[in-house]
Structure 1
Amino acid sequence: MQNAKVKCLCEAAIMLALAQVLSYIKIEPLPSGGSIDLAMVPIIFFCFRYGLAWGTGVGFVYGLMQYFLGNGIAISWTTMIADYLVAYTLLGAGAGFFHGKKGGIYLGTVIGTFLRFLSSFVVGATVWAEYMPEEFLGMAMTNEWVYSFLYNMTWALPDAILCVVAFALLQRPLRKYFACADLNQA
């Protein structure tokens, strides 16, 4: 039992470090925060492997790391909490909920990303709304909910797609780890 906890903590540390490094390799940074990158892959993978409780904790820790180590953007404590702590905790919970389920990594990716998006969407429409530009993506912006939806979809949808593709590519070479077979031996 003790070895299993040590293994879990070590894997959490490795996945958090890998996610942080991947967050610095941005495919497309967004002007008001957020980016398209592969950082969610190790977080979701860990959460799927270890379940809801560990996944929620790792999501929370990664939210802290993103804010403090990733040059987080916040205008108040509300945006710091919602855009980082709540959003990544929900990502971890959503991915961890599908622990051990066949194909759960894909459903966990979609649900976890959606929950993270939802947190950012609500804070974007309620708190960040005062910074809404007059035009976004070539469209006039008159409604903060529409703007927040569009802005947050510019990172959420590509991130989810990148994660699903990465997991599809890794599924075969990491079959034992996707099936959590190595954890059942501990």
Structure 2
Amino acid sequence: MESRAVKVITEGALAAGMSVALSFLKVFQMPQGGSITLEMVPILAFAALRGVRAGALCGAASGLLQMMLQGYVVNPLQAVLDYPLAFGILGAAGLKDRGLGLILSMALAGLLRLGCHVLSGVLFFASFAPKGANVWAYSLTYNATFLVPSLAISMALAIPLARRLKNRV
């Protein structure tokens, strides 16, 4: 195996592991799951550094590990939506690696993750919505309550981290 490939795989494994470790440090916990954490920081920074494909694999690995260690699964499709897909899609942060493009790529990645959780909420957790409430609006509001702050904090940390790491690669 080429030494560059080994380096990227090692960095991805470290980023996935750091993401899982950070998922246990919760700033705020929602009643039915979801929390404000820094778990996206390593994945966003790694994706910005190594691109969409490597970032998606790193995120999916992190999601699978989180599902195994602290996951809540009610259905196989829900498991895929809430864990490997939701975290793998953070690889979209690697679409652009500089300036405004980097900021927009990370924001897009976070919004795509939010979309995975909203769809999961509508399909599998609609019973938590108040009677008569629109389940799409409820799921969006519920999930955005923790994901938007998590994304903002994560981007504030991941952008300078990615820039600093880019200068060392």
**Same topology, TM > 0.5:** yes
Shift of residue 128 of structure 1? 1.2
1:44/1:105 contact within 8 Å kept:
no
Match of 2:83 in 1: 84
Which structure features the higher share of helix residues? 2
For each residue in 1:40-63, what CA deviation from the matched residue of structure 2 results, as whole angstroms up to 9, or x when unmatched? 001100011000111111111111
Structure 1 gaps of 5+ residues are: 135-140
- Pick which of 13-22 and 125-134 moved more: 125-134
Shift of residue 148 of structure 1? 0.2
Query: Following superposition, which runs of at least 4 residues in structure 1 exceed 6 angstroms of deviation?
Result: none
Q: 1:39 to 1:90 in 2, by over 3 A?
A: same
SS of the residue 1:56 aligns to: helix
Give aligned-pair identity as a percent. 30
Shift of residue 105 of structure 1? 3.5
RMSD: 1.9
Q: 1:175 to 1:115 in 2, by over 3 A?
A: closer
Match of 1:124 in 2: 121
Shift of residue 112 of structure 1? 0.6
| TM-score with structure 1 setting the length | 0.83
Aligned partner of 1:46: which letter? Answer: F
Shift of residue 127 of structure 1? 2.0
Q: Is 1:155–2:146 an aligned residue pair?
A: yes
**Cα distance in structure 1, aligned partners of 2:84 and 2:163:** 31
Shift of residue 85 of structure 1? 1.6
**Cα distance in structure 1, aligned partners of 2:101 and 2:4:** 22
**Cα distance in structure 1, aligned partners of 2:163 and 2:127:** 47
